[in-house]
């Protein structure tokens, strides 16, 4: 069973498209790219197993899910959908970070507040990311 718990309107900022890569802890490599440091910091949030940044044009399932949530939100008169959290055996958080890009976090359920806090805490850094990591 999957429950859609929330979609939330929030302030957006600019980000960049990437895939997720394996990364060492943030302090282990001071020459890491800004995007690698951002994703590593988000992955270190309790309950998170993966974090990635996606372009809206990448045709991913995350993008399709987010577009459907935005459509339902507009039909329901709730305004724009800028964040979606889905919880089942696993949890998924999609955050519209601006310019058609999505930040995806996934991991164990029950950590929605921690993940939202981590994203909000790193939102200024997300807005400064101008690189692409393959």
Kindly state the greatest CA–CA separation across the chain: 47
Side-chain-facing half-sphere of 134: CA atoms under 13 Å: 0
Q: ∠ CA 114-91-54 to the nearest 5 degrees? A: 85
The domain that contains 91 carries what CATH number?
Answer: 3.30.450.30
Note whether residue 50 is domain-resident: yes
Separation CA 92–CA 83 (nearest Å): 11
Among 110, 114, 133, CA closest to 43 = 114
Q: What is the CA radius of gyration of the chain?
A: 14
User: pLDDT tens string for the chain (134 positions)?
Assistant: 333 333 333 333 333 333 433 344 444 455 567 888 888 889 999 999 999 888 767 677 888 888 899 899 999 888 888 899 999 999 999 998 877 788 999 999 999 999 999 999 988 888 777 655 33
Note whether residue 114 is domain-resident: yes
Among 89, 92, 52, 50, CA closest to 69 = 92
CB contact at 8 A, 53 and 15:
yes
For the chain, how many structural domains are there in total?
Answer: 1
Note whether residue 133 is domain-resident: no
pTM of the full structure:
0.71
Note whether residue 21 is domain-resident: yes
At residue 71, the pLDDT reads: 92
Question: DSSP secondary structure string, 4-61?
Answer: EEEE------------------GGG-TT--HHHHHHHHHHTSTTEEEEEEE-TTS--H
């Amino acid at each position: 069973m999957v429950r859609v718990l929330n979609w939330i309107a929030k302030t957006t900022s600019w980000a960049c498209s990437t895939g997720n890569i394996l990364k060492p802890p943030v302090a282990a490599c001071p020459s890491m790219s800004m995007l690698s440091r951002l994703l590593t910091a988000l992955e270190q949030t309790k309950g998170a197993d993966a974090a990635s940044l996606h372009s809206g044009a990448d045709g991913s399932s995350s993008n399709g899910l987010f577009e459907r949530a935005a459509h339902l939100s507009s039909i329901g008169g709730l305004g724009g959908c800028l964040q979606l959290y889905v919880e089942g055996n696993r949890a998924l958080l999609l955050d519209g970070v601006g310019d058609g890009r999505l930040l995806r976090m996934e991991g164990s359920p029950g950590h929605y507040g921690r993940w939202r806090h981590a994203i909000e805490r790193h939102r200024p850094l997300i807005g400064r990311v101008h690189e692409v990591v393959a």
